[in-house]
Chain A
């Protein structure tokens, strides 16, 4: 049954949605959307690295995404305004990645698969890899949940109660790099950040606690994956963008409904 490509695609998408949702909540709460952009754009450089060194693609992406995430994370710790610098990194990472992929000798690469994902082409091996990464990210986030939340509220508050906000930032950084690596095949470098931010933002009106928001984001992310897959199947549209479009529609719906939800 698992050789049915739609089923593999659904499983892959579900894995990405489950990992991206709680992590995406932190990206939203900590206002680090740029962080997701820069890290996921850097994935293309990782593809180039993998092609040039014959590493598996996921390995190359993981390494480069981790390096980029660490750079961005250390930049954002400095209090100086780094907005422009982060913008430069995010876009330069993308451009350099595109150039680097084209320079790798003897390779004819389908760029759009890396930019927008190619979820219908995932193999069983990919699905296993995606779920391995997704479970790892989920475990990291659940394990550090309380400390992450405290550090997100106020780093000094976390320090005063014996925590280490820098360590929590590092945990988020690692989780983000893993998510980028496993999501590349599903939604592509350009849209990974969207899968982080949109389900989380769409879940906000439903939630009274952080936990509720993370769970709602997972459910909405999963719905977006299924809806996007179905739309892509019936209307013959590109799948990754269809999934993100579905998430955006969900966001518009929940945000439109939010006055009614808030009145409860």
Chain B
């Protein structure tokens, strides 16, 4: 079942087109990653898919009653706005306390409910955003560079958490990322953008594609292989990392 689908989608701001002719669909249970250089239209694509950016041309259709868990690229909470983690989780809809706790646990930060958002570390903040996105049983998680400000083990642990969540809840995951090697290994499908879709497919296919290599260099293939090789080791590491919180 297709959750979100676009046909011939062209996006722009004023006269400037950032993305043209994107036809794309995502189904339940899939992890799809969008990669591409800065300004290649990744965030714009996500914003159009959630309905925040009106297409210049083409269409976006979302399944009826689709519930989206969204993690925005930037969430700046003004210093004048007091906000505990618990209060934040109850936006825009009130949630049962038990469900808030469950979401925090699933996101790997069970002990933070009473903390002010402003005093969270970068990693904690991203996990709280993830917890909020998981509330209200979403059909799809959409994450826009959700690991910004995390170090590499932290980012790897975050993505593994997402894989776990996907397995448990059978939801679709669509994410934008810069952590090429980590993300590519975690994805079922990769979409490489540079003003249009350069190439798409499984991580291996995309990493071999000449368009992708032209954008990111040939070195990435090596890193990807390296990551695959390190996967088990990094997994254990992440559990250590998680328990420190």
Contacts and interface: CB of A to CB of B under 8 A. Distances in A.
Interface of A: 28-31, 146-147, 149-150, 152-161, 163, 200-201, 204, 207-210, 212-213
A161 B82 contact: no
28 contacts: A29-B81, A31-B78, A146-B90, A146-B91, A146-B93, A147-B92, A149-B92, A150-B91, A150-B92, A153-B77, A153-B83, A156-B47, A156-B50, A156-B72, A157-B75, A159-B50, A159-B52, A160-B52, A160-B68, A160-B69, A163-B92, A200-B80, A204-B82, A208-B116, A209-B82, A209-B83, A210-B81, A210-B82
Nearest to B73: A156
Contacts of B178: none
Given A31-B78, A207-B82, A154 B72 contact: yes
B234 to A, nearest CB: 30
Nearest to A78: B14
A159 B51 contact: yes
Contacts, number: 72
B70 interface: yes
B142 A210 contact: no
A263 to B, nearest CB: 13
Contact of B84 (A146, A160, A209): A209
A156 B71 CA distance: 9
Interface string B90-119: 111110000000000000000000001000
Given A149-B91, A150-B92, A155-B52, 19 more contacts: A28-B80, A29-B80, A146-B90, A150-B91, A152-B81, A153-B75, A153-B88, A154-B75, A156-B52, A160-B50, A160-B69, A160-B142, A161-B93, A163-B92, A208-B84, A209-B82, A209-B83, A210-B82, A212-B82
A152 B77 CA distance: 9
B72 to A, nearest CB: 5
A246 to B, nearest CB: 21
B228 interface: no
B159 to A, nearest CB: 21
Contacts of A160: 50-52, 68-70, 142
Contacts of B68: 160-161
Nearest to B90: A146
Interface of B: 47, 50-52, 68-70, 72, 74-75, 77-78, 80-84, 87-88, 90-94, 116, 136, 142
B72 A213 contact: no
Main DSSP-derived SS at the A contact region: helix
Contacts of A31: 78
A25 to B, nearest CB: 8
Contacts of B72: 154, 156-157
Contact of A213 (B74, B82, B88, B116): B82
A180 B219 CA distance: 62
B83 A161 contact: no
Most chain A CB atoms below 10 A, which of B47, B50, B91: B91
A201 B50 contact: no
Nearest to A160: B70
Contacts of A154: 72, 74-75
Contacts of A159: 50-52
B15 to A, nearest CB: 14
A160 B72 CA distance: 10
A247 B91 CA distance: 31
A41 B82 CA distance: 29
Contacts of A201: 80
Contacts of B81: 29, 152-153, 210, 213
Given A160-B50, A160-B68, A153 B82 contact: no
Contacts of A29: 78, 80-81
